[in-house]
Amino acid sequence: MTVRGRGRGGVLVLAVLAAGCAPALTSQGAGVSVFLVKMDDARRPSAMPEGCRLLATRPPVSMTEADIAVQKDPYRRARNAAGEAGANALLVRSRVTALRRTANCPVASPITDCPGSSGAWYSLVYESYACTPDALKQINTPPSPRPSPPDKEE
């Protein structure tokens, strides 16, 4: 076998291994909706609506900005675990633990436009909930904007 042939085989083995590392979304995981909230965002309520019961909280995990942006479903493992536990909602709380450190990749640019950079690092906490259909609708409905103050009459 030539060196060229070995290289192709190595690529094939790597592709098979990479595909094997990413677990498929199970039927239970497919029934879990994902909701994202920043841990330090005081404007967004941190509590789930009435009608949602907390089933489990997983320990924090670290994930890069690139891992989150590039993967089709970066939360599929957590969705599978949540679905297996009987949950239909997954709240993902995120907090930046390390900012981007690449000078040629400004924060305003999508991480996918920054080859060779993994971007910021995040700490993610997964909370699994069993929610009623009405509670899920509340989560999916953005809060109504505050009415603007009336104009002052002079």
DSSP conformation letters of 28-48: HHHT-EEEEEETT-TTS--SP
User: Residue 16 has what pLDDT?
Assistant: 35
Task: Residue 135: count other Cβ atoms within 10 Å of its Cβ.
Answer: 19
> pTM for the full model?
0.73
What does the CA dihedral 8, 13, 17, 19 come to, rounded to 10 degrees? 50
Given pLDDT bands bounded at 50, 70 and 90, which one contains residue 148?
very low
Task: Residue 154: count other Cβ atoms within 10 Å of its Cβ.
Answer: 3
pLDDT at 15 over 80: no
Structural element, H or E, at residue 138: helix 133-140
Whether 29 contacts 82, CB under 8 Å: yes
Question: Residue 90 phi/psi, 5° resolution?
Answer: -125, 115
Residue that is written with structure tokens 């995990």 in the block: 61
Tally the C-alpha atoms within 13 A of residue 89's C-alpha that lie toward its C-beta.
23
Dump pLDDT digits (tens) for 73-132.
999 999 999 999 999 999 999 999 998 888 788 888 888 888 888 899 999 999 999 999
- What rounded mean pLDDT belongs to the chain? 79
Domains of the chain: residue spans and CATH: 23-102+117-139 (3.30.110)
pLDDT at 152 over 50: no
Dump pLDDT digits (tens) for 43-63.
555 678 999 999 999 999 999
* CA gap 53, 78 in Å, rounded: 17
Residue that is written with structure tokens 């995981």 in the block: 29
User: Residue 46 has what pLDDT?
Assistant: 62
